[in-house]
Structure 1
Amino acid sequence: MSLRPLQTYQGSCHCGAVSFRIQTDFPELTTCDCSICRRKNALMVKVHESAFELLSGQEALVEYQFHTMTAHHYFCGTCGIYPFHRKRVTPDYYGVNVFCLEEFDPEGIPVRATVGAGMV
């Protein structure tokens, strides 16, 4: 259980076409060793869909799916930045790239490495 208070952050892609807001207590951050996560090198926070709000840019989002076609990875079609994805194992959650959050410092938050490469 996290001892951090619930916080609200706004985030966006690089060009600002896609913007969103999340609420989380940042219990942990995760990395993943699957083929796409290794390449994008994102640091993620898991956020329930009720704590995620897309503010702008629905039309700018490009979706990418692979393997089981279950997870939905979203990228900005203008600048190519990966801000979030709908998770495969828990589809009612988003994995949010914390490097897209405004004024966010991951210092002191535990990072857990997840195993995605071995998922079948």
Structure 2
Amino acid sequence: MNDAPLCNGGCHCGAVRFTVRLTGGLAAARRCNCSYCRMRGAVALTARVGDLAITAGHDHLTTYRFNTGKAEHHFCSTCGIYTHHRRRSNGDEYGVNAACLDGVSPFDFREIPVNDGVHHPSDGGGHRVAGILHYHPTE
């Protein structure tokens, strides 16, 4: 059982709302350098599949799959914001867009490890950190 606090979140337009219990909390934030994540640019947090519940707007969610088709990337069909994805590397986990959590911004994270998704673990690559992104506010 996950005893992490329950967080609320949603997309930009508010059509999609969800609750989630994060595995590892905000400290488990990461990014990925695969072709899709490079373009999406989101900070992802981790939740077990049973720990995320869509509370409104399930009919507004659209799913995108590519390459092997195992990962399911969910986003709002109205505003286009990526809310979460079912991971290819672990189908029992979701990656949750940190920016979709109420009161959380990707700029709250000063350092974010970047996983090597170009050499994905499911393709024989190891779980490797490819680098660290740093954010240093000017004020």
Q: How many residues align?
A: 116
* 1:70 equivalent in structure 2: 70
Higher relative contact order (CA 8 A, sep 6+): 1
Native 8 Å contact 1:28 1:110 kept in 2: no
Asked if structure 2 preserves the Cα contact closer than 8 Å seen for 1:22 and 1:51, the reply is yes
Q: Write the distance in 2 (CA, Å) between the matches of 1:103 and 1:12.
A: 11
What TM-score, normalized by structure 2, do the two folds share? 0.76
* Structure 1 residue aligned with 2:127: none
C-alpha change, 1:59 and 1:108, in structure 2 (3 Å) is closer
Q: Is the 8 A contact 1:21 1:52 kept in 2?
A: yes
Question: 1 or 2, which has the higher helix percentage?
Answer: 2
CA distance in 2, matches of 1:80, 1:8: 24
Q: CA separation in 1, counterparts of 2:72 and 2:66?
A: 9
Aligned sequence identity (%): 34
Q: Following superposition, which runs of at least 4 residues in structure 1 exceed 3 angstroms of deviation?
A: 105-110
On the 8 A contact 1:62/1:74 being kept in 2, the answer is: yes
Secondary structure class of the residue paired with 1:83: strand
Q: Please give the TM-score of this superposition, normalised by the length of structure 1.
A: 0.87
Residue equivalent to 2:116 = 115
1:72-113, CA deviations, whole angstroms, 9 ceiling, x for partnerless residues?
A: 001110000001000001111110000011012564686321
Q: Which consecutive residues of structure 1, in runs of 5 or more, have no partner in the other structure?
A: none
User: CA–CA distance in 2 between the matches of 1:112 and 1:47?
Assistant: 17
Return the alpha-carbon distance in structure 2 between the equivalents of residues 10 and 21 of structure 1.
5
| 1:32 matched residue in structure 2 | 32
Tell me the C-alpha RMSD between the 2 structures: 1.8
In structure 2, runs of 5+ residues without a counterpart are 124-139
The corresponding residue for 1:80 is 80
The residue that corresponds to 1:7 in the other structure is 5
